[in-house]
Structure 1
Amino acid sequence: MTANILKIALLTLIFLSFSEVTHGQNGKVTVDQDAVITKLLEYKKDVKTVDLYKIQLDFGSRSEAEALKSKFLNEFSEWPAEMVYETPNYKVWVGNFSTRLEADIALMKIKKSFTKAMVFEPKKEK
């Protein structure tokens, strides 16, 4: 019986001594990501599945809306602009802002050139 206890104690001592010496692998992971993935993530932000805020510059006839959109894109290239038709007017919408605060900050800059601009939350498509 003492021989068994001695063997168990000896084996335990051996295992404990090896566990102190050996360590897990330490490493550094570097992700080499294609630039296209970053662009895809930006496009994903534009998807209409989340609550977004936009800025409406103005509305009117098609030619007025095209001129307004062109003027906007010449002055502000950091936000996307689109022309939307809602009977009977064409509207120029700007940006995809994830928060109301972000939209309000942009509105302050845009209002200097486009006084009728306003922030709104477009209806979600079902």
Structure 2
Amino acid sequence: MKSHTTFKLFVISLLAIMFSESILAQQGTVNVQQDSKIPQLLSLKKNLEKENKLSDGYTIQLYYGELSKANSIIKKYRGIYGTWPASIEYETPNYKVWVGNFGSRLDADRALMEIQKNFQSAFILKPERRK
């Protein structure tokens, strides 16, 4: 008789716990308010990373010297390749033509093998991060 009462008490307790959790459960919504400049900043960061401005990776240098020659080199490069972005960087008093933004040395080496078919003096460098 005692075990029958204990069993009933156990079942009633179990049912009470199950129903109380479903009654006390809360539902809500989350409203996120974000500054309107966040998408602009993310876009700016993405563009800076494309141009090697924030990267700690590797790049390939095609040329170092005067601006007119740098412009002709980058024009020639863009006519041949579209895979990797190219830019002209200025370091007093010379201009550099840089290609790519490679996260690893292996990726840079693979690209260099392809690029050296048309630009024999190209080489890999790891630019210092700009402050």
TM-score normalised to structure 2 length: 0.66
Cα deviation code 1:19-40 (max 9, x no counterpart): xxxxxxxxxxxxxxxxxxxxx5
The aligned counterpart of 2:69 is 64
Does the 8 Å contact 2:85/2:99 carry over to 1?
Answer: yes
Determine the C-alpha separation between the residues in 1 that align with 2:73 and 2:88.
10
Q: Secondary structure at the match of 1:58?
A: strand
Q: 1:105 to 1:88 in 2, by over 3 A?
A: same
The aligned counterpart of 2:124 is 119
Deviates more, 1:80-89 or 1:46-55: 46-55
1:124, CA displacement in angstroms?
0.8
Match of 2:93 among 88, 97, 100: 88
- 5 Å matches for 1:29-44? 43=47
- 5 Å matches for 1:42-61? 43=47, 45-46=49-50, 48-61=53-66
Determine the C-alpha separation between the residues in 1 that align with 2:65 and 2:49.
28
Alignment of 1:73 with 2:78, yes or no, is yes
Q: 1:59 to 1:45 in 2, by over 3 A?
A: closer
Name the Cα RMSD after superposition. 3.1
The aligned counterpart of 2:12 is 11
Question: Structure 1: which 4+ aligned runs deviate by more than 6 Å?
Answer: 12-15
1:89, CA displacement in angstroms?
1.1
Share of identical aligned residues, percent?
A: 41
Name structure 2 gaps, 5 residues minimum. 17-42
Q: 1:44 to 1:60 in 2, by over 3 A?
A: closer
1:48, CA displacement in angstroms?
4.1
The letter for the 2-side match of 1:8 is L
